[in-house]
């Protein structure tokens, strides 16, 4: 049985002070879970303070982006070396906002996921189709290309998590139905099994992301091939994030 992973992507929300208040309250309210991991991904400026508080809990910490070099003249960038030093374990790579607003290509994302794994950290590779691609029935082609190019030469499957986030479902309140997501997760699993030439089912978690909310989490997590969720908006309030963490199947 794969353990599930419930991850919160805070995007560009919360000051360090707000972040600290949030995680203190999360620790008090979240309850004990052995079958699921909990992860928060605050903005860079909150990571250090949040990491100190979470080091006394089982809640994990991730960053939302990283550069693929250790150091250098890269104004405004952050390296894996800096993130490891403050206890960061996961890094979201290739979120659709990075792809579509900041122009990250599969080739750049490929360098990032490899760098993250080489540093012994866990990349969460995000993939997903746009609405016009879905309407043209190109979903599987787009996802296959994103997987093949972003994971070209990637080896350490034990560190890898994949997040399927259809772009049309992110921040729109319009989630994929559990059945739509399940169909895509099965497809992703079959592509990565071919790519890595082995049964990766017990190693690689595949998360769903896109308008996950307290009122749809239970039906999403009932799906056999959905191993967890990457949550944006609904991870910003302790009560809604706790309800998502405490999903019932
Ligand atoms: P959302 O964002 O839950 O607000 O749709 C998900 C994400 O971008 O990871």
Mean pLDDT of the 75-103 span: 98
Report how far apart the first and last C-alpha atoms of the chain are (Å, whole number). Answer: 15
**Which of 22-31, 39-48, 173-182 shows the lowest mean pLDDT across its residues?**
173-182
Q: How confident is the model at residue 2 (pLDDT cuts 50, 70, 90)?
A: confident
Report, as residue numbers or ranges, the catalytic residues.
95, 165
Q: How confident is the model at residue 200 (pLDDT cuts 50, 70, 90)?
A: confident
Residues 185 and 206 sit within 8 Å (Cβ to Cβ): yes
Residue 40, C-beta contacts closer than 8 angstroms, at least 6 positions apart: 7, 8, 10, 23, 26, 50, 54, 59, 60, 61, 62, 235
> Would the CA dihedral through 233, 95, 17, 49 be positive or negative?
positive
- Cα–Cα distance, 168 to 222 (Å, whole number): 22
**% pLDDT > 90, the chain:** 92
Q: With a cut of 70, say whether residue 1 has pLDDT above it.
A: no
Q: How confident is the model at residue 201 (pLDDT cuts 50, 70, 90)?
A: confident
| Ligand 1 centre distance from Cα of residue 170 (Å) | 5
- Cα–Cα distance, 244 to 111 (Å, whole number): 32
Report the pLDDT value the prediction gives residue 214, as an integer from 0 to 100. Answer: 97
Q: Give me the torsion for CA of 82, 85, 89, 92, rounded to 10°.
A: -10
CA-proximal residue: ligand 1, atom 9 (nearest) = 232
* Mean per-residue pLDDT over the chain, rounded: 96
pLDDT digits (tens, 9 = 90+) for 206-224: 999 999 999 999 999 999 9
Mean pLDDT of the 86-90 span: 98
- Eight-state DSSP code of residue 214: T
pLDDT digits (tens, 9 = 90+) for 49-69: 999 999 999 999 999 999 999
CA-proximal residue: ligand 1, atom 6 (nearest) = 232
- Cα–Cα distance, 34 to 3 (Å, whole number): 8
Q: Best substitution site from 94, 95, 99, 211 to test ligand 1's pocket, by max atoms within 8 Å of Cβ? A: 211
- What ligand 1 atom has the least distance to the C-alpha of 230? 9
Class of CATH domain 4-245? alpha beta
pLDDT digits (tens, 9 = 90+) for 152-165: 999 999 999 999 99
**Domain ranges (residues) in the chain:** 4-245
- Cα–Cα distance, 56 to 230 (Å, whole number): 23
Question: What's the angle, vertex CA 69, arms to CA 112 and CA 89, rounded to 5?
Answer: 55
């Amino acid at each position: 049985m794969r353990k599930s992973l419930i991850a919160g992507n805070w995007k560009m929300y919360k000051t360090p002070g707000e972040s600290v208040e949030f995680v203190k309250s999360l620790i008090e309210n979240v309850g004990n879970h052995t079958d699921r991991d909990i992860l928060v991904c605050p903005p860079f400026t909150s990571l250090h303070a949040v990491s100190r508080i979470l080091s006394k809990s089982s809640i994990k910490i991730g960053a939302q982006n990283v550069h693929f070099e250790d150091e250098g003249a890269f104004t405004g960038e952050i390296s894996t070396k800096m993130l490891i030093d403050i206890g960061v374990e996961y890094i979201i790579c290739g979120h659709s906002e990075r792809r579509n607003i900041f122009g990250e290509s599969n080739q750049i994302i490929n360098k990032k996921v490899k760098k993250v794994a080489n540093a012994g950290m866990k990349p969460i590779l995000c993939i997903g189709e746009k609405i016009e691609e879905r309407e043209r029935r190109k979903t599987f082609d787009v996802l296959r290309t994103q997987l093949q190019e972003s994971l070209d030469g990637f080896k350490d499957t034990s560190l890898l998590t994949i997040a399927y986030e259809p772009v049309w479902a992110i921040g729109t309140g319009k989630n994929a139905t559990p059945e739509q997501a399940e169909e895509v997760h099965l497809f992703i699993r079959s592509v990565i099994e071919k790519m890595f030439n082995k049964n990766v089912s017990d190693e690689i978690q595949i998360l769903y992301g896109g308008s996950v909310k307290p009122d749809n989490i239970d039906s999403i997590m009932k799906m056999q091939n959905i191993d967890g969720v990457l949550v944006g908006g609904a991870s910003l309030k302790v009560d809604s994030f706790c309800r998502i963490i405490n999903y019932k199947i």
